[in-house]
Each structure stands twice: as C-alpha cells, then as structure tokens.
Amino acid sequence: MTDLPVLDSDGLRALAQRSAAVTAACACAEADLSCWTSTPLSFPESQLKDVGTLLADPYDEPGFAEYHPHGTRYESGDAPIAPRYFPYNRCNVSACAICGRCYLRYTEAGGYFVDRRIRALNRPGLVVDAD
Ligand SMILES: [Zn+2]
C-alpha cells in the first residue's frame, strides 16, 4: 500500500481552500472537473502528485453508501464531499506540481474496464464531516 497521510475533513477542506485560491492558468484546469468524470485524455496526469488519501484503513473494504442529504446525486457538481462515504472513502488526493490545484481521484473497476475518475477539489464549502 502507500504511506500517504490520511486526510480528515479538516485536512481536505484546507487543501480545497488552497486549491480554490490558485488563479494561474494551467493545463490541468482546462477541462471542467467540477463533478466526477472519467479522466479526460487531455488531462496532464503526469503533473499530479499524490499528497494524501481518504482510505482510512487499507485492510477494510470501503463501503458504497453515498451521502446526499440535499437531494444531490453522485454526478452533481454540488454533491457534498464526505470523506467516509462513497466514492470519497477510496480516493487519493493529488496536487498539480505546476499550479498547486488539488484533485480527488479513484479507480472504478468493472468487469472489462478500469475507469480512472477525477473531481476537482476546490470548493471547501462542499467538504462535510458526516459519520
Ligand atoms: Zn495545474
């Protein structure tokens, strides 16, 4: 496994704040990643460096329950970011080495495909500390 630091909601919120403050143009910010999406082919993944994880216990299979108290859906741009809920509970957080913007990433594996999903982490107000 990794030895990335495990982030709680406070740590996540701090990274979102930092990311939101970045205004420099960067190749990583060209696509709209405000909601979960498959990583675009044009996205400069090589610029990203993992800076933390939300996977609290690597020996514990994270659940699939989602957290949507206000009627959002998985793919909503304003869906809350709840670290203990799917899909955040299996995400790594990555930062762009060029501009410092942060992203949530996880891999969705189906029978015949692997889908590398990504969502921008730049709205601290969406981070919630839900049990
Ligand atoms: Zn960047």
Per-residue model confidence as pLDDT tens digits over 43-96: 999 999 999 999 988 788 899 999 999 999 999 999 999 999 999 999 999 999
In this structure, are residues 60 and 90 in contact, taking their beta carbons and an 8 Å threshold? Answer: no
Residues 6+ away with beta carbon under 8 Å from 32: none
Query: Strand (E) positions, the chain?
Result: 37-38, 48-53, 92-96, 102-109, 114-121
Kindly give the distance from the C-alpha atom of residue 126 to the centroid of ligand 1, in angstroms, as a whole number. 21
For position 59, what pLDDT does the model report?
83
Do residues 131 and 53 touch, judged by C-beta distance below 8 A?
no
Supply 111's token pair.
């029978």
Q: Which of 2, 24, 131 is nearest to 67 (CA)?
A: 131
> At residue 31, what are phi and psi to the nearest 5 degrees?
-85, 150
Average pLDDT over residues 17-29: 98
- Distance (Å) from CA 122 to ligand 1 centroid: 12
Verdict on whether the full-model pTM lies above 0.85: yes
Give phi and psi for 40, each to the nearest 5: -60, 145
Calculate how far, in angstroms, residue 7's C-alpha sits from the geometric centre of ligand 1. Answer: 21
- CA 50 to CA 106: how far, in whole Å? 11
pLDDT at 113 over 90: no
pLDDT above 60 for 32? yes
Contact 99, 48 (CB under 8 A): no
Query: Ligand 1 centroid vs 95 CA: distance in angstroms?
Result: 8
- What pLDDT is attached to residue 22? 98
Q: What confidence score (pLDDT) does residue 1 get?
A: 52
pLDDT of residue 2: 58
What separation in Å is there between the alpha carbon of 65 and the centre of ligand 1? Answer: 31
Whole-number Å distance, alpha carbon 86 to ligand 1 midpoint, is 26
Q: Are strands 102-109 and 92-96 parallel, antiparallel or unpaired?
A: antiparallel
